[in-house]
């Protein structure tokens, strides 16, 4: 095995030591990729996804160096994903984005064929939406913190990670609003705080504050701060206002800094709780936390709210994205009365 792949993909300890001795000055390709991603303040999920796709691309091409490959190899890899792995168009496009980032930002190679690689056309699907009755049954089948999270997602229209990343300082009880920070597209927006959730949320946050104070007593209590805020405000990470509204029950090690912190709830836990509640409530639809966001938008339109208002609450850049929810308003398909009903 050549020393490049010994250093990049990771091999037995002896081979890694030999590679290190041969090339002390050349950083690993995947480390360079991570560094370029972090310079641009991409999320850790984007970092993990891009690194994984580049690794898969390299292994698919028999561990050849990307600088020795071109358009044909990229097309072969993307075709393999579509025809043999049967991935969705959005997944295929994510793989393409990762490879374009590798060539342009890491290898600093501007090749004309990069723009010629055709992106897969993403199919336009109608969202799964629960009826108000199904929504009530689902939420009634949940309790505790998971039930509060699900109710908040339905009552505000937030995405799952937007809800889990919610900070104490961004909940405005007096104005009955929630400020969503760094939502999709790195945009902030304001959404409604349901009156029925004010008391449950306040009770929950009292428990969270007690947990935070116990962490402070044992030398912890620091939370992750975005971008360079930790350097600008070194004491902010321990303050109550910056804590997550839905913290994890256990502390964990930050994969980038190595610091032990209490992060927010793991999204898979909420997803699993919603699936289990759907079974209990006998909702025979593919229910996920994101379905609650779809239901929020559709039920607001059914109640007669203006589509522009719904657009702002959801954080959509284009009203055409919000228009998709008009397909399940109180009337039947397209508002047409079937001739069979006549």
- Known catalytic residue: 184? yes
- What is the token pair recorded at 155? 């009552």
> Has residue 217 got a pLDDT over 80?
yes
Active-site residue identified among 28, 32, 64, 184: 184
Is 65 a residue of the active site?
A: no
Q: Which of 159, 212, 262, 264 is catalytic?
A: 159
- Residue whose pair of structure tokens reads 């007690």 in the numeric block: 210
The class (CATH top level) of 132-328 is mainly alpha
* Residue 225 pLDDT level (bands cut at 50, 70, 90): confident
Among candidate residues 34, 204, 261, 316, the one labeled active-site is: 316
Mean pLDDT of 38-45: 84
Query: Half-sphere exposure of 329 toward its Cβ, with a 13 Å CA cutoff?
Result: 16
d(Cα 326, Cα 294) in Å, to the nearest integer?
A: 11
pLDDT in tens, 135-156: 999 999 999 999 999 999 999 9
At residue 60, does pLDDT exceed 80? yes
Q: Which of 50, 103, 224, 325 is labelled catalytic?
A: 325
Look at the alpha carbons of 156, 160, 162, 163 in this order and tell me if their dihedral is positive or negative: positive
CA 82 to chain centre: 23
- Give the CATH number of domain 3-116; options: 3.40.50.2000, 2.60.40.10, 3.40.50.11810, 1.10.150.130: 1.10.150.130
- The angle formed by the CA atoms of residues 215, 218 and 222, to the nearest 5 degrees, is 45
Active site residue: 165, 189, 293, 294, which one?
293
CA–CA separation, 163 and 153 (whole Å) = 7
What string of H, E and C letters represents the secondary structure of 41-107? CCCHHHHHHHHHHHHHHHHHCCCCCHHHCCHHHHHHHHHHHHHCCCCCHHHHHHHHHHHHHHHHHHC
pLDDT range class, residue 84, cuts 50, 70, 90 = confident
Strand order in the sheet with 177-180: 171-172, 177-180, 189-192
Q: What is the pLDDT of residue 277?
A: 96
Catalytic residue among 75, 137, 263, 290: 290
Task: Indicate the pTM of the whole model.
Answer: 0.77
The verdict on whether 293 is a catalytic residue reads yes
Give the Cα separation of 310 and 157 in Å (integer).
9
Q: Is 284 a catalytic residue?
A: no
Match 């805020």 to its residue by tokens.
229
Domains 3-116 and 132-328 belong to one CATH topology = no
Long-range CB contacts (within 8 A, 24+) of 197-202: 197/148, 197/151, 197/152, 197/155, 198/173, 200/148, 200/151, 201/148, 201/152, 201/171, 201/173, 201/245, 202/173
**Known catalytic membership, residue 316:** yes
Q: Where are the domains of the chain?
A: 3-116, 132-328
Task: Decide if 315 contacts 183 (C-beta within 8 A).
Answer: yes
What's the pLDDT score for residue 76? Answer: 87
Collect all residues with Cβ–Cβ distance below 8 Å to 23 and sequence separation of at least 6: 3, 7
Confidence of residue 72 (pLDDT cuts 50, 70, 90): confident
């Amino acid at each position: 095995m050549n020393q490049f792949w010994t250093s990049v993909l990771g091999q037995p300890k002896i081979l890694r030591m030999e590679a290190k001795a041969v090339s002390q000055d050349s950083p690993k390709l995947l480390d360079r990729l991570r560094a370029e991603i972090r310079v641009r303040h991409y999320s850790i999920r984007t970092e993990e996804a891009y690194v994984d796709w580049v690794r898969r691309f390299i292994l698919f091409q028999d561990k050849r160096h990307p600088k020795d490959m071109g358009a044909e190899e990229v097309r072969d890899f993307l075709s393999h994903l579509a025809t043999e792995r049967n991935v969705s168009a959005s997944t295929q496009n994510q793989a393409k984005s990762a490879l374009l980032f590798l060539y342009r930002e890491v290898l600093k190679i501007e090749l004309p064929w990069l723009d010629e690689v055709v992106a897969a056309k993403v199919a336009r699907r109608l969202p799964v939406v629960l009826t108000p009755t199904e929504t009530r049954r689902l939420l009634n089948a949940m309790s505790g913190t998971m039930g509060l999270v699900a109710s908040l997602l339905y009552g505000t229209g937030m995405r799952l990670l937007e809800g889990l990343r919610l900070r104490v300082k961004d909940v405005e009880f007096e104005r009955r609003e929630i400020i969503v920070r760094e939502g999709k597209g790195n945009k902030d927006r304001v959404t409604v705080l349901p009156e029925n959730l004010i008391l449950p949320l306040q009770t929950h946050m009292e428990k969270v504050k007690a947990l935070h104070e116990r962490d402070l007593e044992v030398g912890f209590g620091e939370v992750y701060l975005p971008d360079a805020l930790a350097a600008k405000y070194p004491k902010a990470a321990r303050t109550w206002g910056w804590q997550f509204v839905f913290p994890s029950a256990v502390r964990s090690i930050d994969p980038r800094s190595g610091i032990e912190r209490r992060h927010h709830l793991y999204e898979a836990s909420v997803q699993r709780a919603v699936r289990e509640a759907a079974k209990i409530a006998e909702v025979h639809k593919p229910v996920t936390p994101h379905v609650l966001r779809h239901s929020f938008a559709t039920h607001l339109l059914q109640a007669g709210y203006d589509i522009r208002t719904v657009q702002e609450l959801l954080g959509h850049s284009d009203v055409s994205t919000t228009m998709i929810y008009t397909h399940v308003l109180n009337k039947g398909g397209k508002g047409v009365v079937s001739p069979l009903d006549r």
